[in-house]
Structure 1
């Protein structure tokens, strides 16, 4: 079984309850009647427990009743195909994992120094970004990439909370020309009014901060005991971080960015000013 975000979340939460109980993986496996190697795969998301095994785990670890239903839902959905798999022939592993991370997220925080984040891009803006990054892409594939990006944005209408920090360069860079940028900036102002979206601009006059030269996405799931994940994408490589120490570093980075960013109101005022100044 290929680990999925949901199977890893399930394994991580079960591992959390095991550690809280003071049992080792070997001790718990013996008590619930499975091999230690099987338990190791469950904790790492490479296997999912059967309903019977999950019942034994719940009983042995005294997992609270209000958490059991959530664990069972993760177990059932661990191998469900996501809608994004319809685009599997054009998706890189990196993008597929990002969408999978977004699928159940309750709050996403992102920092982009030079571009508007994908969840906020208009179709025209996104088309220019995609074709600039991959100039030899087939026209038919461009249309599918755009369809995919617009579909991802439906999460905003489903209650996803988004906090996006943008470098001021992203507000001025005329991606696609002034008309495309104008429409893009107007779209940002509309989205902040219609959904749980906060946009904050880091102005050119800001001091150095911990995310300079970087861009990343911090994903949080509804249950506070769920681990956060950080997605970092570059021109030639991508990484998903789930270790506590690395996540703390990115939480520090986003806090550093926040300390230098304009307030949400001042950020929108700046965006509206740029709209008026565009030719």
Structure 2
């Protein structure tokens, strides 16, 4: 099967416990009664794991009961179709991957130098971004993309913590015109007030930082102590990083850019100043 974010997370966690036990994939497969090739696919997220096999794996690896409950929940979710699959005919693989990453996240940290992040965009602002990037898209598909983006934002009312760091250019460039930007900035202040959202602005006067010229999303899930993935999207390509060394480099980048950003209260003050300039 095509690996999903959930199946890869489950496989990665099982692989970590296997390595900690000192067992090889072959040894473990023999003890739980499956082929080594099947176990290899489970660890890579390319094969489903049945409840019975998961139970035997938990027993052999002495996985704590609390963690076993989390793994079983993840196993069930890995089989569930995501709501975003209703949009499969218009979704690129990159956008589908990002939505899968967001679906179970407990904390998202994102850096955007020039635009407001998608989770904070108003419909009018998002429409201008989408139409500018895809000028030949059908009007009906644009409407569905906008609907999709608005549905993604529901995660903010479901307990998702969001830390969004943006360049000053993002809050000043009049995408859609002054009225659209003004409403976009008002929307940011409302979201910060109503949800677990922090916005920090990197002013034009800031020095160089490790995220300069880049944009990325760091995803962290509940009950998992380390961020498990970094999503990086560009004009022509996208990547999901899951290796510890790469993730650490992006953690350094987000710390570097935050050291140059205004504090949350000062950032909101700047946003209010821009709103006044747009009157």
* TM-score for both structures, normalised by structure 2: 0.98
The alpha carbon displacement at 1:16 in A equals 1.1
In the other structure, the counterpart of 2:260 is 260
Task: Map residues 47-58 of structure 1 onto 2, 5 A cutoff.
Answer: 47-58=47-58
User: How far does the alpha carbon of each residue in 1:187-221 deviate from its partner, in whole angstroms, 9 at most, with x for none?
Assistant: 00000000000000000000000011110000000
2:227–2:247 Cα contact (<8 Å) kept: no
**Paired position in structure 2 for 1:125:** 125
Contact 2:112 2:166 in 1 (8 A): yes
Rounded to whole Å, the distance in 2 between the matches of 1:278 and 1:55 is 60
Checking the alignment, whether the CA contact within 8 Å between 1:163 and 1:199 is kept in structure 2 is: yes
What's the secondary structure of 1:224's corresponding residue? coil
Match of 1:22 in 2: 22
Query: What is the Cα deviation at residue 79 of structure 1?
Result: 2.2
Deviations 1:66-113 (A, max 9, x none): 111111111111121100000001000000000000000000000000
The residue that corresponds to 1:165 in the other structure is 165
Q: Does 1:214 align with 2:214?
A: yes
- Aligned mates of 1:171, 1:216 — CA distance in 2: 18
- Alpha-carbon distance between aligned partners in 2 of 1:134 and 1:50, rounded to the nearest angstrom: 42
* Matches of 1:2 and 1:167, distance apart in 2: 36
| CA drift at 1:227 | 5.1
- 2:153 is matched with which residue? 153
Aligned partner of residue 219 in structure 1, secondary structure: strand
- Partner residue, 2:192: 192
Instruction: Write the deviation string for residues 143-170 of structure 1: whole angstroms up to 9, x where unpaired.
Output: 1000000000000000000000000000
1:2-21 aligned at under 5 Å gives the runs 2-21=2-21
Q: C-alpha distance in 1, partners of 2:81/2:148?
A: 16
Q: Unmatched 5+ residue regions in structure 2?
A: none
Supply the distance in 2 between the matched residues of 1:54 and 1:135 (Cα, whole angstroms).
Answer: 48
* SS in structure 2 of the partner of residue 153 of structure 1: helix
Aligned-pair distance for 1:24?
A: 1.1
In the comparison of the two structures, how many residue pairs are matched? 279
2:112 aligned residue: 112
Q: CA deviation at 1:225?
A: 4.5
1:129-140 matches, cutoff 5 A: 129-140=129-140
Give the secondary-structure state (helix, strand or coil) at the position aligned to 1:201. Answer: strand
Equivalent position of 1:82 in the other structure: 82
Number of the residue aligned with 1:68:
68
Once residues 227 and 183 of structure 1 are traced to their aligned partners in structure 2, the CA distance between those partners, rounded to angstroms, is 33
Tell me which residue corresponds to 1:38.
Answer: 38
Distance, in Å, in 2 between the alignment partners of 1:48 and 1:67 is 19
Unaligned runs of at least 5 residues, structure 1: none
Tell me the distance in 1 between the aligned counterparts of 2:105 and 2:165. Answer: 18
**What is the CA–CA distance in structure 2 between the aligned matches of 1:226 and 1:60, rounded to whole Å?**
25
Q: What TM-score results when the alignment is normalised by the length of structure 1?
A: 0.98
Contact 2:108-2:220 at 8 Å conserved across structures: yes
Give me the whole-angstrom Cα distance separating, in 1, the residues matched to 2:253 and 2:226. 20
Query: Is the Cα–Cα contact under 8 Å of residues 171 and 185 in structure 1 kept in the other structure?
Result: yes
On the 8 A contact 2:218/2:227 being kept in 1, the answer is: no
Cα separation, 2, equivalents of 1:252 and 1:157: 29
